[in-house]
Chain A
Amino acid sequence: MSSIEASQTAQAASLQTAAAEARRAKHIERAGAQDRIATFVLTAIVAFVMLLVVSMVAYILYQGIGMLFHPGFLTEASRANGTQGGVAYQLFDSFYMLFLTLVISVPISLGGAVFLVEYAPDGPITKIASTAIETLSSLPSIVVGMFGFLVFSVNLGWKYSIISGAVALTMFNIPILVRVIQQALEDVPQSQRDACLAMGLTRWEATIHVLIPAAMPAIVTGIVLSAGRVFGEAAALLFTSGMSSPVRLNFLSLNFSSPTCAWNVFRPGESLAVHIYKIYGEGSPQAQEIVWGTAALLMVCVLMFNIAARVVGKMLAKRMTAE
């Protein structure tokens, strides 16, 4: 009786283990299949994204590259509200505004970042300041543009002008730069700071002579990358620098108050990105060629900023380590 029972139990047990074994095998198989499917899906997604990026860039260049070599496109002023002629002044205005923006925003951002990292790493000031900077960075650019319009163009009487646009772009650029420089300074090893202080340098001297030079490659890369972002910004400029460049500019004039002087910061100006927004809907074949040409030009500039950022960063790093 008991032996039968025992054998039955044993049988049942072995059956159970067999069933469990089978279940486990099935489970592993299912997990393996899941793994393969997931890998396949993920690969497909990445292939799709890469195809998307490549085809977008290729499409823009395909549509617009011909125009870039069209005689006059890069050297003539635009006519007929942008639907004829070239984009020479828009190109100049874009770079000029970018230059002014960097002249204003780099020193401020550098100072701000140094203060936040070196002088007040913790405490209420840092907290308030970083919250302010974070707020600025998350504001929609149209709000920055509206603020710029109200304060600079209307209240300060700068009207639609290059300088209004540059200051609005500065507000857009500072949070990006502060964060990049802060990161770069924080990445400098603590031991370098300690060494400087131990040698009797003040924090200021340590920052100027050791920390900023050490962080320079990352800072320069960050500045150039942010320049690419500023270069393509349009919404903040619609109401500040305006939607038109003067019809005739004189690049040789040094009379900074003349409205035809290219370097006059109080004349209206139009960036390439704003130009695209202005004429995208115009249906004439010529206007469409111009709009795609402008887009390709903008893309080429942004690509150049991207490449320049990498190259310059690497070069600086190499030169500094070589010494």
Chain B
Amino acid sequence: MASHLPKRDLEKVGMGVTGACVVLVTLVVCALIFMVAQKGLSSFFKDGVDVVGFFTGTAWDLHNTDANGMPFTGALPLIVTSFAVMVLSTAIALPIAIGSAIFAVEIQPKFGQKVFQPLIELLVGIPSVVFGLIGFYVIVGAMKAIFHVPTGLGILPGSLVLAIMILPTITTLAIDALRAVPDSYRQGSLALGYTRWQTIWHVVLRSAAPSLMTAVILGMTRAFGETLAVRMVIGGIETMPNGLLDAASTITTTLTTSMAVYADGSVQNDVLWSLALMLMGMSLIFILIIHLIGKKGGDRA
């Protein structure tokens, strides 16, 4: 190979090749951000969609047009549904995830490592459409039977499906976070006469709190961006939801069903890119929060 080259050149080649990979990835990400931003902002600057109306309007209808020939682009129902689904699914998954992480680290560590963790990692590997499929046939049916609603589609089944999907994300990260708490903390607390639960509650959870927060936010990021599994159970009506069993539509599900329908460059297409820009903005905000938590945790330690 290149071994006959002088050493200094070899080092340069290595650095060049690997550096090029990094530059390539960075450039692709920058291009992606730039393009999404450009497409997403053009609806406001080029097509004249009202920015305030976009965030506060409640009428979303790309198919019909108003007197000025503009589609109805009030995205508030989509935003509200996206947040509702995210918050609800996190609220369902959080206690279960943290609870099982505590069990797997503090109460039965051996069982946790040998049996529970591989099992929960299996859940990570299940494709999202399969979750959606189970949601469509099992959860939606259960909704119909329990609440006597006509279609069974809506925010609640969507949140339940998402809760199962983000459960392994939060659980595995929480297990890592709890494992990282030094044993000396536990021993100190037990030596003071605290019970195991008191130790967990007052010492372990408290000192792992920043990492646990990160785990939760990563779970929320996944819930916010998930698309197809939600589309299969949520009903797809782009109006302000009145209840948890009303059909609704999140930002991502609207993108899936509408994206290919409208031609590149049309107002409708640009508005959909604005939604994509909002999704991207949200994930950047989530990253920022994680960094802030990391910094704060670092300062305290």
A and B touch in their complex, CB below 8 angstroms? yes
**What is A's interface to B at a CB cutoff of 8 Å?**
31-32, 34-35, 38-39, 41-43, 45-46, 48-50, 52-54, 56-57, 59-60, 107-112, 114-116, 118-119, 125, 128-129, 131-136, 138-144, 146-147, 149-151, 154, 171, 174, 178, 202-205, 207-208, 225, 228-229, 231-235, 238-239, 273-274, 276-277, 280-281, 291-292, 295, 298-299, 302-303, 305-306
Q: Are A202 and B14 in contact (CB under 8 A)?
A: yes
Q: Are B25 and A49 in contact (CB under 8 A)?
A: no
Evaluate whether A111 and B22 lie within 8 angstroms (CB atoms) in the complex, with A32-B195, A139-B225, A142-B255 already known: yes
Q: Is B167 located at the chain interface by the 8 A CB criterion?
A: yes
Out of A35, A45, A111, name the residue touching B99 (CB < 8 Å).
A45
Q: Are B14 and A207 in contact (CB under 8 A)?
A: yes
Across chains A and B, which 9 residue pairs bring their CB atoms closest together, nearest first?
A232-B127, A140-B225, A204-B14, A111-B21, A115-B18, A45-B99, A132-B29, A38-B197, A35-B195
**What are 21 A-B pairs with beta-carbon distances under 8 A?**
A32-B195, A46-B99, A49-B96, A54-B119, A56-B134, A57-B122, A108-B24, A111-B22, A115-B15, A131-B287, A133-B25, A136-B28, A140-B252, A143-B279, A143-B280, A144-B32, A204-B15, A232-B130, A238-B260, A280-B132, A291-B133
Q: Are B15 and A298 in contact (CB under 8 A)?
A: no
* Cα–Cα distance between A38 and B30 once the two chains are bound (Å): 48
On chain B, the residues within 8 Å of A60 by CB distance are 130, 134
On chain B, the residues within 8 Å of A207 by CB distance are 14
Binary flags per residue of B166-195, CB closer than 8 Å to A gives 1, else 0? 010001000000000000000000000011
On chain B, the residues within 8 Å of A281 by CB distance are 136
Q: Are B22 and A116 in contact (CB under 8 A)?
A: yes
Binary flags per residue of B280-293, CB closer than 8 Å to A gives 1, else 0? 10011011000000
Closest to B193 in A: A28
The stretch of B58-66, B72-80, B102-110, B241-249 that contacts the partner chain: B102-110
Closest to A42 in B: B103
Q: Are A50 and B116 in contact (CB under 8 A)?
A: yes
The stretch of B33-41, B46-54, B144-152, B208-216 that contacts the partner chain: B33-41
* Cα–Cα distance between A208 and B224 once the two chains are bound (Å): 40
Q: Is B113 located at the chain interface by the 8 A CB criterion?
A: no
On chain B, the residues within 8 Å of A129 by CB distance are 22, 25-26
Out of A39, A128, A151, A232, name the residue touching B26 (CB < 8 Å).
A128
In the complex, chain B residues 124-163 whose Cβ is within 8 Å of any chain A Cβ: 125-130, 132-134, 136, 138
On chain B, the residues within 8 Å of A229 by CB distance are 125
Q: Are A139 and B25 in contact (CB under 8 A)?
A: no
**What is B's interface to A at a CB cutoff of 8 Å?**
7-8, 10-11, 13-15, 17-22, 24-26, 28-30, 32-33, 35-36, 39, 95-96, 99-100, 102-104, 107, 116, 119-123, 125-130, 132-134, 136, 138, 164, 167, 171, 194-198, 200-201, 221, 224-228, 232, 252, 255-256, 259-260, 264, 273, 276, 279-280, 283-284, 286-287
Out of A116, A140, A154, name the residue touching B279 (CB < 8 Å).
A140
Out of A43, A49, A133, A277, name the residue touching B228 (CB < 8 Å).
A277
Q: Are B195 and A34 in contact (CB under 8 A)?
A: yes
Q: Are B33 and A295 in contact (CB under 8 A)?
A: no
Q: Are B100 and A45 in contact (CB under 8 A)?
A: yes
Q: Are B121 and A115 in contact (CB under 8 A)?
A: no
Q: Are B18 and A53 in contact (CB under 8 A)?
A: no
Q: Are A35 and B198 in contact (CB under 8 A)?
A: yes
A311 to chain B, nearest CB (A): 13
Evaluate whether A31 and B195 lie within 8 angstroms (CB atoms) in the complex, with A115-B18, A141-B225, A178-B25 already known: yes
Evaluate whether A299 and B18 lie within 8 angstroms (CB atoms) in the complex, with A142-B225, A234-B228 already known: no
B293 to chain A, nearest CB (A): 14
Evaluate whether A132 and B279 lie within 8 angstroms (CB atoms) in the complex, with A56-B134, A115-B18, A205-B10 already known: no
* Cα–Cα distance between A129 and B25 once the two chains are bound (Å): 8
A115 to chain B, nearest CB (A): 4
* Cα–Cα distance between A313 and B39 once the two chains are bound (Å): 44
Closest to B135 in A: A280
Q: Are B107 and A39 in contact (CB under 8 A)?
A: yes
* Cα–Cα distance between A141 and B103 once the two chains are bound (Å): 33
Q: Are B25 and A232 in contact (CB under 8 A)?
A: no
On chain B, the residues within 8 Å of A111 by CB distance are 17-18, 20-22
Evaluate whether A232 and B252 lie within 8 angstroms (CB atoms) in the complex, with A46-B103, A204-B15 already known: no
On chain A, the residues within 8 Å of B35 by CB distance are 147, 150-151
Q: Are B15 and A119 in contact (CB under 8 A)?
A: yes
Evaluate whether A138 and B221 lie within 8 angstroms (CB atoms) in the complex, with A112-B25, A132-B26 already known: yes
Out of B107, B125, B195, B280, name the residue touching A305 (CB < 8 Å).
B125
Q: Are B99 and A146 in contact (CB under 8 A)?
A: no
* Cα–Cα distance between A213 and B210 once the two chains are bound (Å): 35
Q: Are A231 and B127 in contact (CB under 8 A)?
A: yes
On chain B, the residues within 8 Å of A147 by CB distance are 32, 35-36
